[in-house]
Amino acid sequence: MQDKNSSYNKNRFDLKSITHTSGFSSFTSALMAIFLGLIFGFIVMLVAMPENSLAGFQYVVFGGLNRIGDVFYFATPILMTGLAVGFAFKMGLFNIGASGQYTMGMFFAIYVGFMWDLPSNIHWIVAILAGMLGGMIWGFIPGIFKAILNVNEVITSIMFNYIGMYLVDMIIQGSSVMYISTKTRTNYLPASVQIPSLGISGSNVNFGIIFAIVIGIILYIVLQKTTFGYELKATGFNKHASEYAGMKGKTNIIITMIIAGGLAGLGGAFAILAPSAIAGSSMTYEPINIIAANGFNGIAVALLGNSHPIGIIFSSVFISHIQRGGTLASLVGYKPEIIDVVIAVIIYFSAFAMIMNSALARFIKKRVDKKHAAMETKEGEAVQSDLDEVSDNGREEAE
């Protein structure tokens, strides 16, 4: 009896050491959110067009596998904006301005591409760095507004999404070198700024994805192994405590926002300098007064990846995967917007999937405990009856 109990405890301990890490619980809650989101998408498809729903759903879930190159190609920019949102999130800042930073990065890269004449082996590198600089500037502004003037970074970065978008459109439309008014878009960038392709046949996946993944890993190291990363997370957990411990909260806010902006700017540069998959999808920019969608997709990526750099790498590939699937679903008559609906639902659930998960875990635990309690009371009753017998015997003896 004793042995059985201890071995049971030991087993439970082992299982707990895996299931009770924060990484595991965020992974399961992400899975749960994805599951619920996909179910919702399937229901929408079922309502819209019952006869094709299974085929369409199959495309959404597995379609991306046939176009793995495209999946990585389109994952690159959202991986970068995802890192931009997630990195700021670690600090407790909600960087909804990734769109503006992304647009700025794009613009700076375009500017270097058109205006600077450099040898082709360094031109694209300079353009990428310029993109990073553009994003950094656009991240610096909300940072300084937050740190010095106490303006909520959500409002600032939303406003600067619009300001950046109008500003870029204005400058591009004003430049005769970049803009062709008859085509209402810019000229094609010179080939010297194009990021080299990885050479996988049938896709335009390029060095951008490699850079992006390396940057993600570097961020992981920064967050886990450096003093700055520690201070960042500490400030995110408890602003007042970290300040009390002597960390410079305001400086850290500005630095975080600069880094986040730089990441999103890199995303913009990677997107615009990539070899085009579809004509007009990159190497040229169309000023149409619309905020870059990739910035908002970055929010989805970051939330799904639980703001963890490695998690974000996987979630960006996943989001890109179902987006490709959504495009393929149009083969059987569905609109690709179904994926945006699915992503929104995934985020909605991921906001409280953690709580739902722990509630579920509590529920299961309660049931298990109840069983145990029942068993224990049975045992207890047995002991009690033994005792009663003993006392009865004693009484009899006394008589």
Binding footprint of other proteins on the chain (CB under 8 A): 44, 48, 94, 96, 145, 149-152, 154-156, 158-160, 162-163, 166-167, 169-170, 173-174, 289-290, 296, 299-300, 303, 335, 337-338, 340-341, 343-345, 347-348, 350-352, 355-356
The helix/strand/coil state of 186 is strand
Question: Of 353, 289, 362, which Cα lies nearest the Cα of 28?
Answer: 353
> Cα(283)–Cα(189) distance, rounded to whole angstroms?
5
Least distance CB 346 / other proteins (angstroms): 8
Closest separation between CB of residue 213 and other proteins, Å? 25
Judged by beta carbon, residue 10 or residue 250, the one nearer other proteins is 250
Least distance (Å) between residue 349 CB and other proteins: 8
> Judged by CB, which is closer to other proteins: 119, or 174?
174
What minimum distance in Å lies between the beta carbon of 228 and other proteins?
25
Q: Is 185 exposed, middle or buried (0-12, 13-18, 19+ CB in 10 A)?
A: middle
In 3D space, the residue among 316, 310, 309, 348 whose CA is nearest the CA of residue 29 turns out to be 348
Residue pointed to by tokens 């009770």: 20
b vs e for 138-155, b when ≥16 Cβ sit within 10 Å of the residue's Cβ? bbbbbbbbbbeeeeebee
| Residue 82 or 275 with smaller CB distance to other proteins | 82
Say how many residues make up the chain: 399
Q: Which is nearer to other proteins, 250 or 372 (CB)?
A: 250
Q: Are 299 and 160 spatial neighbours (Cβ–Cβ below 8 Å)?
A: no
Residue among 154 and 198 whose Cβ is closer to other proteins: 154
- Least distance to other proteins from the beta carbon of 159, Å? 5
Nearer CB in complex with other proteins: 59/160: 160
CB of 284 to other proteins, least distance (A): 19
Q: How far is the CB of 34 from other proteins (least distance, A)?
A: 14
**CB 167, CB 106: distance < 8 Å:** no
Q: In this complex, which beta carbon is closest to other proteins, that of residue 264 or of residue 300?
A: 300
At closest approach, how far in Å is the CB of 127 from other proteins? 24
- Coil, helix or strand for 202? coil
Helix, strand, coil in percent for the chain, rounding step 5: 80, 0, 20
Judged by beta carbon, residue 176 or residue 289, the one nearer other proteins is 289
CA–CA–CA angle 292, 335, 61 (5° rounding): 90
Which DSSP helix (H) or strand (E) runs through 29? helix 22-48
Q: Which is nearer to other proteins, 337 or 392 (CB)?
A: 337
Neighbours of 296 (CB within 10 A): 21
CB of 292 to other proteins, least distance (A): 13
Q: Is 171 exposed, middle or buried (0-12, 13-18, 19+ CB in 10 A)?
A: middle
Nearest C-alpha neighbor of 263 from the set 212, 188, 327: 212
CB within 8 Å of 292: residues ≥ 6 apart: 99, 100, 102, 103, 106, 165, 268
Cβ proximity to other proteins, 214 vs 355, nearer residue: 355
For residue 304, the minimal CB distance to other proteins (Å) is 11
